[in-house]
Structure 1
Amino acid sequence: MTTTTIVCAEPATGTARPDLEFIVQDHRPAPQGSKKRGRNGQIIDDCKRLKPWREAVEAAAKNAMNARWLAGNGEESLDGPLSVEVVFTVRKPVSAPKTRITWPTTRDSGDIDKLLRSTFDALTNGGAIADDSRIVEVTARKVFPGEGLDALDAPGAVIRLWKVAAEVTSR
């Protein structure tokens, strides 16, 4: 009898070093989800920030992959089951309290699932991952600038990816 044990070699919530880690700085995370019909009947994304966000993530992913390749750890893209951690730093509203830490729970901060969708597609287009269907584990947070673990000083994101290893043992 053969049993399969799934082991995340570098867990997203642990302190072990990720297979790929990079920061997208000075770009406001944008959701991908809602669509609207344009003047000529074409379907376009509802969020005008989506294209610049995806381009920024793609560029950062390409740079990180190039650095990984130059360091001798390179491959075309991360493939197989993957674990991903993303910390989105979103813009803090003017009306939010200045003297205490708060959570980005307003509509303006975006739905976390739609933020992930745009980011995962950009990771695929940027060559960091073979396909976003390879992602089997996700840890995601939204924070305001300077407020919380891995919060940046301006809108952007910290992205970490780990390969998940499957070990096969016999009994």
Structure 2
Amino acid sequence: MKKELNFKTLESLDSIKGVLKEASEGLKIKTRNIDNSSIPDVLGAALGVGAGGVASFAALYLGGSVVGLSAAGITSGLAAAGAVVGGGMAAGVAVLAAPVAILGIAGYGVVSSYRYKKLQDAKEELLREVIKKHDAITRALREEVDSSKERIEYLKSMQILLSKALQDLKSDMESA
């Protein structure tokens, strides 16, 4: 049995992109804190629950008619198609519908496979970015020990968010 994915679509990764963007700004602007960040509620929640208190990153962040065809024409066409497999009009429905269904299923499979691959690629890229930002925030926490209490809380909450994103992305990659 496969484990439930944390990020099922490309759009679901937008929350991580938002946190990465905030982390970049926070690393550039040394006066950045929770109050003047772009995601104060999310950072406040992260700091409030701490690193072990949240199950996932997401929990934080987050008929008509066709002219010209008569009934007689349709039934005779279906009967003729059904005759191909030794049946009548009902078999004709199956004969004519089967190629459409098969092509539809095949098309869905191709599109689904493409989307899955694209999602996995996006997760791998984000995972690398999250690791880099997490490491940078951890370094900033060590280097900015004399910063204001607000700045330290900001960096800690960013570290918590990035840790959760890292954990959830890794979990998704292992489930793939």
Q: TM-score, normalised by structure 1?
A: 0.25
Bigger Rg, which one = 2
Q: TM-score, normalised by structure 2?
A: 0.25
| Larger relative strand fraction | 1
